[in-house]
Amino acid sequence: MGVRSDDSCPTVTPGPPTTSRLTVVWTESTAHAAVHERAGGRCESCGSSDVSDWAHRIPEGQGGPKIPENGVHQCRPCHQMCEGFHRYAREGGWRLLNTEDPTVVPVYLVTHEGAAWWLLGYDEFGHVLTWVDPEEYGLPVVPTLPREFPARARREREALRAEERAAREAYQDRQAAEAAAAAMVGAS
């Protein structure tokens, strides 16, 4: 990475005197460019080539940092699903709480190396993707993907309704049994 002062690449400054590494200072546009490069023109959530959106893992309004690790390149449908279903998006690492660090929380990405869980990083040489063993982190092998969020939400609502219906029926059965028992005691 060369050192340039325009806004098309990150500003590179020497690190502390005790290290030979460089410190990268990101702007919104340089972080976007880095994520676009990492994605290779594909949605990092589903692999679609119809990519148009930068998605913040921690939204900017919640203090999300302007670094590539906080961004995911997504197609519009995946981005909209992640915006509408935060709980499911959190399961895939596509959405984080503002108390979490995007450099240490894995994210499920479709990359040129395949779909897997990754820790995101960036150094003076470019992107650093570190494969993560989902079992080690207590993650599902494959999370619910964004396009599956609505169907999953519907299944969960239906399961909840079935549980509520079963509880209501059990309650009514208990009430009927208690009333029958009380009627038998009263008749004797």
Share of the chain above pLDDT 90, in %: 40
Give the dihedral sign, CA 78/79/85/90. positive
Q: Share the mean pLDDT of the chain.
A: 83
- Specify if 52 maps to a domain: yes
Residue 166 counted as domain residue: no
> Which residue in this structure is represented by tokens 């969020």?
149
Residues 34 and 38: their CA atoms lie apart, in Å, by: 6
For residue 158, CA distances in Å to 161, 164, 173 come to 5, 10, 22
Considering the domain boundaries, does residue 45 fall inside one? yes
Residue 168 lies in a domain: no
Q: What is the pLDDT of residue 18?
A: 42
Is residue 23 predicted with pLDDT exceeding 80?
A: no
Q: Containing domain of residue 44, as a range?
A: 11-154
Residue 106 resides in a domain? yes
Asked if residue 31 is part of any domain, the answer here is: yes
Model pTM above 0.85: no
Q: Is residue 57 part of a domain?
A: yes
**pLDDT attached to residue 160:** 80
Q: For residue 22, what are the contacts with CB-CB under 8 A and spacing of at least 6?
A: 12, 13, 14, 15, 124
pLDDT at 75: 92
Short-list 63, 76, 69, CA closest to 34: 69
Give me the number of domains the chain comprises. Answer: 1
SS3 (DSSP) at 185: helix
The rounded distance, in Å, linking the Cα atoms of 102 and 3 is: 25
Q: Is residue 174 part of a domain?
A: no
Helices (H), the chain: 28-39, 76-84, 86-91, 134-137, 149-187
| pLDDT number for residue 22 | 54
Q: Residue 140 half-sphere exposure, CB side, CA atoms within 13 Å?
A: 10
